[in-house]
Amino acid sequence: MNIKKYFKISLGVAVLGASQVSCVKDDNWDAPEMVCNNKFDAPTTTMAEFVANSPANGVYTVPAQDATNPAVIFDGYVVSSDASGNFYKTISFQDKPENPTVGLVVGVNKSMNYTDFPVGAHIRIKANGMVIGKSNDVITLGVKDPDYAIGRIPESIIGRFISGVCNGNGLDIATIVPQELTLTQIQDPKYVNTLAIVKNVQFASNEVGLPLMNKDLAGNFVDSNRNLVDKDGNTGIVRTDGFFKATSYLIPDKSGDITFVVSKYGTGSAPYQNIIRGISDINFTNPRFATGLLGGSEIAYSGAFTETFESYEVNLANFPKYLNYAYVGNRYWQVKTFSSNKYIQMSANAGNGSFQNYFIVPVDFTAANNFSFRVNVGYYNGDALKVYTTNDYTPGSDIGTATLTDITSSFTIPKTPTNGYGTLANAGTYTIPAGLTGNGFILFKYEGAGTGVTTTIQIDDIKVQ
């Protein structure tokens, strides 16, 4: 059905609302019977067809039903819930309980909509007299409003446009199966206002232990964004409204699955701001994993070796024998060359935000006696290098779960020059303690910030004897 002929340009738009299932109770005292009648006639089109045939631009009004203009009716399934306060006077719904093809949002001037239309509620929309508009890939339904391009449906007339669908005894409620997507896939307009589940993700490491929501200076909770990350370093945003009820929730040091309604707001650098219905949508029970981890495909623990980096290509960051771990930020140790000599280098200069990166070297501590390396500093602006040992880190896991022993004081790390570069020089020799045995790692940690510590560190000739 081509519904374009039923649209006319309008200067105002609104958002969709909800109405109710009409149920009549039989007055039989011994065997009460509930008879449920649908308020609207059967659908005349599908939600997908309605959206597909709607104008791509502008604001349009579906003509009222009359002798010339037939009824425009379609079904949908509710995926949002305002029970926890994270959806304010809006209802998001999709065209099918499973594998949806389209989602819409409707604003209703009424709170506690979850009591009438819980998640999974089968709803029927009679679009005659409603307004449809599209902005930044978000398609919205509503009614005319003199003050807004898209206004909410007044509570008193919600039932004029939306009603529940009967299953014979009451409101038909389907089981919504969230579609499994990745953090990359959710950044596609076709998934907006549909329910999704993203598996094997975690909150950013610098947010662990923080409240899910921020507070303003007066101590009031405010709209907040928290960042998700997957094993490949892809990111996504979880958005909470200032009225979200689960205000005591702390971000866990775990990973797992998260369910949310895919949402988009504006056209900024991160417009996809996905909305959970409640804390139960966060199912993080697994250990944290390493994100931004390169290399490690050929790890071999040895008690005697020398790494000069001469066999690697310039600008290489993926080392098969070692782990290059961008724990915070997106910068890695890279192979560089000067005067026909290769080494690895790390710097926060001209960067955005903070950076923590570990260059992780496997060692058989039982067989090793000592280790040394050469180091050089450029444009010194604060101490940026630390050195650690560990024998309880599992490659692929979050470094925050490992026990690190700081041995930086065993070495001499230059604090000059502040302009230009020095020269690579022996940093000293560290004797492996007798109590440090088994397979483990030596870690070179760089920590800096683009607007703080921007020292450049160069390392060469890592030697274990």
Residue extent(s) of CATH 2.60.120.200 domains in the chain: 293-464
Rounded Cα distance, 388 and 445, in Å: 8
70: Cα separation from own chain's centroid:
43
pLDDT (tens, 9 = 90+) of the chain, 465 residues, equals 554 444 443 333 333 333 444 444 445 445 455 567 899 999 999 999 999 888 777 788 999 999 999 999 999 999 999 999 999 999 999 999 999 999 999 999 999 999 999 999 999 999 999 999 888 888 999 999 888 878 899 999 999 999 999 988 899 999 999 999 999 999 999 999 999 999 999 999 889 999 999 989 988 889 999 999 998 888 999 999 988 987 788 999 999 999 999 999 877 778 999 999 999 999 999 999 888 899 999 999 999 999 999 999 999 999 999 999 999 888 999 999 999 999 999 999 999 889 999 999 999 999 999 999 999 999 999 999 999 999 999 999 999 889 999 999 999 999 999 999 999 999 999 999 999 999 999 999 999 999 999 999 999 999 999
Rounded Cα distance, 378 and 458, in Å: 8
* Predicted local distance difference test score (pLDDT) of residue 330: 86
Rounded Cα distance, 20 and 104, in Å: 19
Please say whether the structural domain 293-464 has been given the CATH code 2.60.120.200.
yes
Rounded Cα distance, 330 and 355, in Å: 7
End-to-end, the C-alpha distance of the chain in Å comes to 78
Alpha-carbon dihedral angle through residues 166, 169, 170, 173, given to the nearest 10 degrees: -70
Rounded Cα distance, 376 and 350, in Å: 19
Place of tokens 């009222």: 64
Please say whether the structural domain 179-287 has been given the CATH code 2.40.50.140.
yes
**What DSSP character marks residue 113?**
G
* Predicted local distance difference test score (pLDDT) of residue 177: 98
3-state secondary structure of 401: helix
Give 235: exposed, middle or buried? Use CB within 10 Å, 0-12, 13-18, 19+.
middle
3-state secondary structure of 207: helix
Q: Cβ atoms within 10 A of the Cβ of 86, count?
A: 24
* Predicted local distance difference test score (pLDDT) of residue 169: 83
* Predicted local distance difference test score (pLDDT) of residue 231: 86
Q: Which amino acid is at 22?
A: S
Q: What is the DSSP annotation of 127-193?
A: -TT-EEEEETTEEEEEB--SS-SEEPEEGGGGGGTEEEPB-SSSB-B---BPEE--TTTTSSGGGTT
Rounded Cα distance, 130 and 113, in Å: 19
* Predicted local distance difference test score (pLDDT) of residue 220: 87
Rounded Cα distance, 143 and 79, in Å: 21
Alpha helices in 35-100 (DSSP H): 47-52
Handedness of CA 410, 416, 418, 421 (dihedral sign): negative
Provide φ and ψ at 205, rounded to 5°: -60, -35
Q: What is the DSSP annotation of 252-319?
A: -SEEEEEEEE--B-SSSSS-BEEE-SSGGGEEEEEEPB-SSEEE-TT----SSEEE--TTSPTT----
Give 92: exposed, middle or buried? Use CB within 10 Å, 0-12, 13-18, 19+.
buried
Place of tokens 């009967």: 166
Closest to 140 in 3D by CA, of 243, 10, 1: 10
Provide φ and ψ at 159, rounded to 5°: -65, -10
Rounded Cα distance, 453 and 33, in Å: 74
Residue 122 forms beta bridges with which residues? Answer: 77
Place of tokens 């009424």: 110
Instruction: Show the tokens assigned to 39.
Output: 């308020």
Rounded Cα distance, 333 and 444, in Å: 10
Residue extent(s) of CATH 2.40.50.140 domains in the chain: 179-287
Describe the chain by its helix, strand, coil percentages, rounded to 5: 5, 40, 50
Residue 238 forms beta bridges with which residues? Answer: 226, 274
* Predicted local distance difference test score (pLDDT) of residue 5: 46
Place of tokens 């450029």: 378
